[in-house]
Amino acid sequence: MNNNTKKETEDKQVKTPENRWSPGFLGTIFFALVVYVGIACINHSEAKDYREKILSNQRESLSLAEQKIEAIYKLDSLIAISQSRLDTTKSDSLKPNRDSLLYINYIISHREELKRSSDALKQELDATTKDTKSMIDIHLQYIDQQYSTLSLWAGIITIVFLIFSFYGVFKQEDAINKANAIIKDLTNRLLDLDEYMKIKKEKLEEDSESYEQKIEEKALLAVKNIIQEADKQRKINQLTTEADDYRKEEKYELALQKVDEAINIDNENSYLYYMKAFIAHKLDNYELAIECYRKSAEKILDNYSIFNNWGAVLSDWAKIKNDEKLFAESCEKHKKAAEINPNKESIFYNWGNALSEWAKIKNDEKLFAESCKKYQKAAEINPKDETIFNNWGAVLSDWAKIKNDEKLFAESCEKHKKAAEINPNKESIFNNWGNALLGLAQIKNDEKLFAESCKKYQNAAEINPNNEHIFYNWGTALSEWAKINNDEILFAESIKKYQKAAEINPKNESILNNWGGIILSVPQFKIDISSQKQEIESILLKAEAIKEGAGSYNLACLYSLLDQKDIALNWLEKSLRYNPTQVKDVIESDSDLDNIKSDPRFNELMDKYFPEK
C-alpha cells in the first residue's frame, strides 16, 4: 500500500443517521394507549368477582405458611448439606456462581438465629393465624378501595413501558444502523489493512531473503577469515619453532631469517619482535636488538620480560661503547620492569649487573653500593638462586680491587661460599671465588690464601676442564704466588696453565699476551733472554695478530731487554696508541724498560700520551 492510500483510509469517518419520530411510531403508541385504557376498565369491573377468589387464596396461603414453618425445621439439615456443597463448589469450580455462594454463606452465617427464630415462630403461629383471619377481611376491603387506583397506575406504568419499549425498538434499530456503518467502515479498513499487510509481508520476505543472504555471506567471510588466520598462525608457529631450534643449535643467522619470515606474515606480533631482539642480542647486533625490543614494547606495554631484556642489551652495549648514557637507559628499563613485576628476581639481578658495570666506568662507590642493593633484593625474592650470590660476590670483588679493601674481599668470599652451598657443581662459582681469594692474597701477601685460591680454580677445572678462563686465572694466581719467592716451580706451573688456556681458545689475545708476559718475567729467563726470544715473540705476535695493541707492550719489554731500542720504542708507541687506559707511573717504574728510558724518544712518548693537565 502506498502512502496516499494509507492516508485516505485514515481519514474515513462513520456517518450517524438522523433521529426522527416517524408517523407509524406515533400511531402505534396511540393505538396501544386506547387498547390499554379499555382493558383497564374491564379489569375494574371484574375486580369484585375476584374478591371471593382472593379470600379463598388467602386461606390457602395460611395453610401454606404452616407448611413453610415445618420446612424451617428442615432448614438446619439443609444448611449443613449446603456447607459441604459450598466447599465442594469452591474447590471444583474455577468460576463458581456468585449469587449461590453468597446465599449459602448467608444461610450458614444465620443458622443459629434461624433455629431460635423457628422455635419462637411456632409458638406464635396460633396467635398469628387468628390475627390473620381477622385482618384478611380488613385487607379485602382495603384492596377493593385501592384496586381501582392500582389498576390505573398499572395502566399508566404499562403505557410508559410500552412507550419506552417502542422507543427501545427504535433505538435498537438506530444502534443496528450505526453498528452496520461501523462494521462497513471496519470492513473497509480491514481490506486496506489486509492489502497493507500483504505488501509488508512481501517486503519482509524480500528483506528476509536479503538478510539471510547477508548473514550467509558474513558467515562465509568469517569462516574464510578464521581459516586464513589459522593458516597464518600455523605458518608462524612453524617458523618460530624452526627459529628456536636454530637458536638452540647456536645457528643465530638462520634463526634470524626464520623470524623475519614470520614477521613478514604478521608484522603486528609483539612476540616475533621479542624473539628477533633476543637472537640479535646473541649476534651482538645491539642496535637491532634494541629497536626490536622497542617495537615489542609498543604493542605490549605491561610485559616485564621485554623491558628486562631490553635493559640487559643496553647494558652490554654500554659496556662495549663505554657509554654512561646507555647505562642510565638500561637502568630505566629495569626500573620499568620492576614496576610491572616487583617480585621477579631476574629484574633486580640484571639491574645490579648494569649498575656494577656503570660503577666500574665511573669508579663510583655509590653505584657499587646501589648495585649490591639490587642483588640483595634479588636474593630476598629468590634465596635459592646461586647466580645471584655468584654475581654479587664478583661485584664485591671488583669493588674491593678498586678500593684495595680486605673487608670487601671477605664479603665477596662469603657470597661465593653461599652460592657454592646452593650449587656445588657450577664452575663459575669456584672460578670467581678463586678470584676473590687471589685479590685478598695479593693485599695480604699471604701464601695460604694463594694456595686456597688455586684450590678453587682446581675445583672449577674439575667441573669444566674446557673453560679457558679458569686456566687463565689459575695461571695468574700461580704467577703472582711465584713472584713472592721467585719460585721456579710455581712459574713453570703458571706457564702450563696459560698454555692450557691457549689450547682451549687460541683466539683469545689476553691469554696469549699474559702467557708471553709470564715467560718474560721469569728471573731465570731474563739472565739469557735471547734463548727465549723466539718463543716469547711468537706468542706475543699471535696476540697482536688477533687484536692490534694486545701484545705490543710486552714486545716493547722484550726488545728493551734485548737492547733493541728502536724496535722497543716502536712497540711502546703502538701500545700507548691502542691502549689509552695505561698508567704513566706503571710504565716509568717497569724495570723491563730500563734500557730505553734514557732515550729522549721515551720522554717524548710520555709527554705525547700523558700530557700535563
C-alpha atoms less than 13 angstroms from C-alpha of 254 in its C-beta half-sphere: 11
Q: Which three cell numbers stand for residue 153?
A: 397506575
Distance CA 333, CA 356 (A): 16
Could you tell me what percent of the chain has a pLDDT over 70?
A: 67
- The pTM assigned to this predicted structure is 0.61
Q: What is the distance between the alpha carbons of residues 292 and 330, in angstroms, rounded to a whole number?
A: 15
Considering only 130-139, 274-283, 308-317, 442-451, which range has the smallest mean pLDDT? 130-139
Of the pLDDT bands very low, low, confident and very high (cuts 50, 70, 90), residue 590 is: very high
Query: Where does the pLDDT of residue 66 fall: very low under 50, low under 70, confident under 90, or very high at 90 and above?
Result: low
Q: Which is higher by pLDDT, 46 or 566?
A: 566
Question: Where is pLDDT greater, at 302 or 457?
Answer: 457
Q: Regarding predicted confidence, which is higher, 85 or 322?
A: 322
Predicted pLDDT of residue 41: 65
Q: Is residue 300 very low, low, confident or very high in pLDDT (cuts 50, 70, 90)?
A: confident
- Looking at the predicted structure, is the pLDDT value of residue 3 above 50? no
pLDDT tens, residue by residue, 558-571: 999 999 999 999 99
Q: What is the mean pLDDT of the chain?
A: 81
pLDDT at 65: 57
- Phi, psi (deg, nearest 5) at residue 83: -60, -45
- For residue 67, the model assigns a pLDDT of 65
Q: Identify the pLDDT of residue 570.
A: 97
- 404/291 Cα distance (integer angstroms): 40
Phi-psi region of 250 (alpha: psi -120 to 50; beta: other; left: phi over 0): left
User: What's the rounded Cα separation, in Å, for the pair 527 and 581?
Assistant: 31
Q: In angstroms, rounded to a whole number, what is the distance separating the alpha carbons of residues 510 and 540?
A: 10
Q: Are 249 and 214 in contact (CB under 8 A)?
A: no
Rg (CA), the chain: 63
pLDDT of residue 165: 58
| pLDDT confidence tier of residue 11, bands split at 50, 70 and 90 | very low
Amino acid at position 79, single letter: I
pLDDT: is 189 or 68 the higher one? 189
pLDDT category of residue 123 using cuts at 50, 70 and 90: low
User: At 550, is the secondary structure helix, strand, or coil?
Assistant: coil
Tell which wins on pLDDT, 52 or 573. Answer: 573
Nearest-angstrom CA–CA distance, 434 and 460: 9
For the chain, the 3-state helix, strand and coil shares in percent, each to the nearest 5, are: 85, 0, 15
- For residue 526, the model assigns a pLDDT of 74
- Asked if 313 and 293 count as a contact pair (C-beta separation under 8 A), the reply is yes
Q: And the C-alpha cell for 342?
A: 616487583
pLDDT at 156: 65
Please give the residue that has the higher pLDDT: either 7 or 225: 225
For residue 255, with 0-12 CB atoms within 10 Å meaning exposed, 13-18 middle and 19 or more buried, which class applies?
A: buried
The per-residue pLDDT for 586 is 94
Residue with the larger pLDDT of the pair 99 and 490: 490
Tens-digit pLDDT profile for residues 143-187: 555 555 556 655 665 665 566 555 555 555 665 676 567 667 666
* pLDDT tens digits, 371-387: 999 999 999 999 999 99
Q: How far is CA 4 from CA 7, 11, 402, 553, 600, in A?
A: 5, 11, 101, 109, 119
Please count the residues of the chain: 613
* pLDDT given for residue 175 in this prediction: 54
Place of cell 649487573: 353
Over 50: is that where the pLDDT of 10 sits? no
Helices and strands (H and E) in the chain: how many: 26, 0
**pLDDT class of 6 with cuts at 50, 70, 90:** very low
- The reported pLDDT for the residue numbered 320 is 93
Instruction: Determine the average pLDDT of the residues in 217-245.
Output: 85
Judged against a pLDDT cut of 90, whether residue 456 lies above it is answered with yes
C-alpha to C-alpha distance for 454 and 480, rounded to whole angstroms: 11
* The pLDDT value given to residue 15: 35
Distance from chain centroid for Cα 17: 76
What pLDDT, on the 0 to 100 scale, is given for residue 581?
Answer: 87
User: What pLDDT is stored for residue 7 in this prediction?
Assistant: 34
pLDDT interval class at 88 (50, 70, 90): low
Predicted local confidence at residue 64, as pLDDT: 61
Query: Do 328 and 351 form a contact (C-beta atoms < 8 A)?
Result: no
